[in-house]
Amino acid sequence: MTSPAEFSTRRLKYTATINDEALTESTDSDFEVAYIDIGNVDSQGRVHDIVNYRFEDAPSRARRIVRNGDVIISTVRTYLQAIAPVENPPDNLIVSTGFAVVRPSNVLDHRFCKYVLRASCFLWEVESRSTGVSYPAINASDLGDIKVSLPEISAQRLIANYLDRETARIDGLIAEKERMLALLEEKRAALISRVVTRGLDPDVVFKRSGLEWLDEIPAHWDTCQLKRTWGSSDYGLSESIRDEGDIAVLRMSCIVDGRVDVSKSGMITEVDRHLLLRRNDLLFNRTNSLDQIAKVGLIDFDPEEPLTFASYLVRIRANHRATPHYLVALLNSSLFLNFARKNAIPAIGQANLSPTRYGEIHIALPPLAEQEEIVTFLKRDAETSTPIREHIRSTINLLHERRAALITAAVTGQIPAEDMTE
């Protein structure tokens, strides 16, 4: 095998074609296509939920043809690292124009290609050459100018065989851990849904709730529109988020498991004081993909520095009828969340749920003292269950890091050939 010192590099455009084929208009109204959008590819290079459309119903930007052995690369929101190989695709597969379709030439083995385009050096180049703040993007010509590692073809095949084996082993470990985590999170979600809709007393008397999404509730609980628990609601700022400034700006990715992750925020230089966040503010995600919309995060700390929020979030401040901690548990419960998403207005690649439509949903509401009891109960359960889930998440992250490091090392010649043979 070629030694690391002999690995050559070549610009991607000299090893593959980019965006070779585009779908033209069809006169056959029954012509069907399979479609991949950016939301269907995760950061680990896996494709989920390919959607079938009649051609005339497909999104207007669905035009790029994909064939077996191609690699699709997201050219928008490049920080998502939505890069995936296409193997054994369905008939008439097309992708959003938010993807570049890379088709290896005879100097680039298609199985090696799927790995070299996930090497850390390539991913870094894609992100560093992207322009824009909220939706950083790269054009196809800049993508083609990025250099990739290119050993001789026999070495490429040896590396691909090795990585196929090793990544399959790591992926198996990841899948096992993810199943464990899913079971624990399902158990936690079921517990939350039960106590925020039925309370803690197993002997309580129930009544019909009269709510579309909920059957019975404790007889002494009230029902009301969600907005009746709000003291105020405000849209976030519409200014562009930057990478520098004195004020952190929370965006939709900052809402994680009912809390907010400030480390994922952007920055801005100035903002109206009434849009600054404080402890016990709730942030509702009004615009996102349908499976992510309507998540709610709680500011459960006193911000040490000015903190605000972007326009696709809505700030909610609870009034005297509800505690913020109870609301965040109720609004993120699977029963309520699934119903709320049915009220969203879908669009291509995303959905919108206005605070008006959201606030009109009816909820069940226990007395304040009982809300506090439920919050305390859930907090105690979390003290036991959260460390277990966090340990599993940490293990999964380490496995992903191991996988990424292995790919980079292999495609750049850092692993001796003798270590790659079975």
Q: What is the pLDDT of residue 282?
A: 97
Residue 377 reports pLDDT greater than 70: yes
Question: Is there a contact between 242 and 267 (Cβ–Cβ < 8 Å)?
Answer: yes
Q: Contacts from 91-94 at CB under 8 Å and sequence distance 24+?
A: 91/34, 92/31, 92/32, 92/33, 92/34, 93/33, 93/34, 93/35, 93/36, 93/50, 93/65, 93/66, 93/67, 94/23, 94/33, 94/34, 94/35, 94/36, 94/58, 94/62, 94/63, 94/64, 94/65, 94/66
Strands 259-260 and 266-268: unpaired
CA distance 160 to 173: 20
Instruction: Please state the rounded mean pLDDT for residues 110-138.
Output: 90
CATH superfamily of 4-151: DNA methylase specificity domains (3.90.220.20)
Residue 117 reports pLDDT greater than 90: yes
CA distance 420 to 422: 7
- Give residue 92's pLDDT band: very low, low, confident or very high (50, 70, 90): confident
Residue 26 reports pLDDT greater than 70: no
Instruction: Please state the rounded mean pLDDT for residues 338-361.
Output: 90
* Domain regions of the chain by residue span: 4-151, 152-180+372-422, 200-365
Instruction: Please state the rounded mean pLDDT for residues 293-303.
Output: 95
End-to-end CA distance of the chain: 15
Identical topology for domains 4-151 and 200-365? yes
Residue 346 reports pLDDT greater than 90: no
Residue 230 reports pLDDT greater than 80: yes
Express as a percent the part of the chain with pLDDT over 90: 67
- Give residue 36's pLDDT band: very low, low, confident or very high (50, 70, 90): confident
- The residue that leads in pLDDT, 289 or 319, is 319
Q: What is the pLDDT of residue 349?
A: 64
As given in the structure block, the two tokens for residue 249 are 């700006």
Q: What is the pLDDT of residue 96?
A: 83
What does the DSSP assignment read for 65-111? Answer: E--TT-EEEE-BSGGG--EEE--SPPTTEEEETTEEEEEE-TTS-HH
Q: Of 245-254, 278-287, 332-341, give the lowest mean pLDDT range.
A: 245-254
- Give residue 309's pLDDT band: very low, low, confident or very high (50, 70, 90): very high
Residue 244 reports pLDDT greater than 70: no
CA distance 167 to 149: 19
CATH superfamily of 200-365: DNA methylase specificity domains (3.90.220.20)
Q: Which amino acid is at 104?
A: P
Q: Taking all residues of the chain, what is their mean pLDDT, rounded to a whole number? A: 90
Question: Is there a contact between 217 and 197 (Cβ–Cβ < 8 Å)?
Answer: yes
Q: What is the pLDDT of residue 241?
A: 66
- Give residue 292's pLDDT band: very low, low, confident or very high (50, 70, 90): confident
Q: Of 48-52, 126-130, 314-318, 407-411, give the lowest mean pLDDT range.
A: 48-52
Instruction: Please state the rounded mean pLDDT for residues 340-350.
Output: 85
- Give residue 308's pLDDT band: very low, low, confident or very high (50, 70, 90): very high
Range with the largest mean pLDDT of 79-83, 99-103, 345-349: 99-103
CA distance 410 to 8: 14
Instruction: Please state the rounded mean pLDDT for residues 163-172.
Output: 95
CA 285 to chain centroid, in Å, comes to 13
Q: What is the pLDDT of residue 313?
A: 95
3-class secondary-structure state, position 309 = strand
Q: What is the pLDDT of residue 62?
A: 66
- The residue that leads in pLDDT, 394 or 93, is 394
Ramachandran class of 79: left when φ > 0, alpha when ψ lies in -120 to 50, beta otherwise: alpha
Residue 52 reports pLDDT greater than 90: no
Vertex 353: Cα angle to 351 and 358 (nearest 5): 155
Ramachandran class of 309: left when φ > 0, alpha when ψ lies in -120 to 50, beta otherwise: beta
Q: Of 61-65, 85-89, 151-155, 360-364, give the lowest mean pLDDT range.
A: 61-65
Instruction: Please state the rounded mean pLDDT for residues 355-363.
Output: 96
- The residue that leads in pLDDT, 187 or 40, is 187
Q: What is the pLDDT of residue 4?
A: 52
As given in the structure block, the two tokens for residue 112 are 């090696």
pLDDT digits (tens, 9 = 90+) for 169-217: 999 999 999 999 999 999 999 999 999 999 999 999 999 999 999 999 9
- Give residue 134's pLDDT band: very low, low, confident or very high (50, 70, 90): low
- The residue that leads in pLDDT, 253 or 408, is 408
Question: Whole-prediction pTM value?
Answer: 0.75
Question: Is there a contact between 297 and 283 (Cβ–Cβ < 8 Å)?
Answer: yes
Residue 330 reports pLDDT greater than 90: yes
